[in-house]
Amino acid sequence: MEKLIKDFSKHIQQAITIGKGAKFNAPKIVINNILISGLGGSGIGGTIISSLVTDEAQVPIHVTKDYAIPAFVGPNTLTIVSSYSGNTEETINAMELAQKRGSKIVCIASGGTVLEKAKKENLDHIAIPSGMPPRAAFGFSSVQLLYVLKGFGIISNKFESALENTIQLLDKNEDAIVKEATTVTEKLYGKIPAIYSAAPYEGVSIRFRQQINENAKMLCWHHALPEMNHNELVGWKQDYKNVGVVLLRNEDDNSRTQKRMEFSKQVFSECTDTIIEIFSKGKTSIEKTYYLIHLCDWVSYLLAEKKKIDATEVNIIVSLKSELANI
């Protein structure tokens, strides 16, 4: 896992090369909406990318993480199937349902049933490198989503320069990122993390929560502002010394949201002594997003190391899949 995290910027660079070489068959109809289907390490890319392109995409993008698909899916829908292993049963089921409704299908996978079906049925697809835990392949799978959206005219190619700048940003700041991640780890160790961000970056909070779950084998929770201020903030009414608050922040977060962050910090401080702020670096939303993801990935790994556990192991998920296979 350590090497996979270290190679994050290399993954992005390789993903750009793969994306530029992708070829798609033009749909015979106008695309009115988009469905991205994927779960876990494969699905988080849809959550994050759909948020990153919200200011540019002229059609709605819906992300599903289930067997079922929304009623709107039909011939005018572009369905992007994202399954790193290619064998995620929920995603395969959603893919088959979308096919039955005549949806335009594009697959992103490293192998498995999804890639086999795509090749056999002449569906558009992008093959990404295999041999990694799905969550460690985020640099590959998320970037391909951008290239699919570009390939179908949903977004322009301006994201490419942002990705190139992201690579430079991460490489330039790698030592500082690991140093900050180490400091955050020391403060979070032995705590239950409560992760908060501004709404546009909620996907990053979800990614951090999932990485802590899988890599560090810990429970935690997340929420986004301003919504959190309309409910969860009221719950901060007693001592929670076992909770470590992590605020994922950007200097250009909405000014009103920043004021809410500062007020919330005061509320947290009356209940816990552990409040950590992580500020992004970069000029664009893509740079800031991937910067925060990389730093938080390091934290999840370093927590696992401090706990002396294997960050890669996910035996309970393997057991669940085995149980389901017998039904």
- The string of pLDDT tens digits covering residues 250-294 is 999 999 999 999 999 999 999 999 999 999 999 999 999 999 999
Q: Per residue in 31-83, pLDDT tens?
A: 999 999 999 999 999 999 999 999 999 999 999 999 999 999 999 999 999 99
Domain boundaries, given as residue ranges, for the chain: 2-157, 176-306
CA–CA dist 202, 205 (Å, integer)? 5
Contact 83, 114 (CB under 8 A): yes
Neighbours of 130 (CB within 10 A): 14
Query: Phi and psi at residue 283, in whole multiples of 5°?
Result: -100, -35
Which class does domain 176-306 fall in?
alpha beta
CA–CA dist 165, 146 (Å, integer)? 16
Which class does domain 2-157 fall in?
alpha beta
Cα distances from 326 to residues 39, 67, 96, 322, in angstroms, run: 21, 18, 21, 7
What residues are annotated to the active site? 214, 230, 321
129: DSSP letter: -
Per-residue confidence (pLDDT) for residue 118, from 0 to 100: 97
DSSP symbols for 32-79? -EEEEE--HHHHHHHHHHHHHTTTT-SS-EEEE-SS---TT-STTEEE
Pairing label, strands 77-82, 61-64: unpaired
Can 2-157 and 176-306 be said to share one CATH topology?
Answer: yes
Helix (H) or strand (E) holding 80: strand 77-82
Mean pLDDT value across the chain: 97
